[in-house]
Amino acid sequence: MAKNICDVTCIHEDRVKRIKQELSQQPFPEVSTLYKLLADKNRLQIAYALLIEDELCVCDIAAIIDATTATTSHHLRQLYKAGIATFRKKGKLVYYSLADEHIQQLIQQAFRHMKEHPVHV
């Protein structure tokens, strides 16, 4: 059976230095937080629902994910604080939508990838 590790140690210093430099300039904590927020099933369902329907009120989102409006509002607040969702108030209703095209693409690509390459854990 083939081992999937190197049999010898051979560090390519130029590559390592270049990549470490690039890594040091990237916002890893923020991106990690983004993925952690979307790792929650309810928040991911909310994001996907907002992908399907550009804008939904809190009550509709709560019904979609089978949660209370209080729980749903908590999830939406977290998505808003992370820059994943945005909202507007109209009278007594609050409507949420995905923040921008980047978030829409992130959600779309993740689901497209899973359909093509399902994870078997």
For residue range 47-90, what is the model confidence (pLDDT) as tens digits? 999 999 999 999 999 999 999 999 999 999 999 999 999 999 99
Which amino acid does the sequence have at 68?
A: T
Which residues does residue 97 pair with via DSSP β-bridges, in sequence order?
86
Radius of gyration of the chain (CA): 20
Indicate whether this model's pTM tops 0.85: yes
Domains in the chain with CATH codes: 28-116 (1.10.10.10)
In angstroms, the CA 59 to CA 82 distance is: 21
Which residues does residue 88 pair with via DSSP β-bridges, in sequence order?
95
Please name the helix (run of DSSP H) or strand (run of DSSP E) that holds residue 38, with its range, or none. helix 28-38
For residue 121, the SS3 value is: coil
Inter-residue contact 65 to 45 (CB < 8 Å): yes
For residue 4, pLDDT beyond 90: no
For residue range 88-106, what is the model confidence (pLDDT) as tens digits? 999 999 999 999 999 999 9
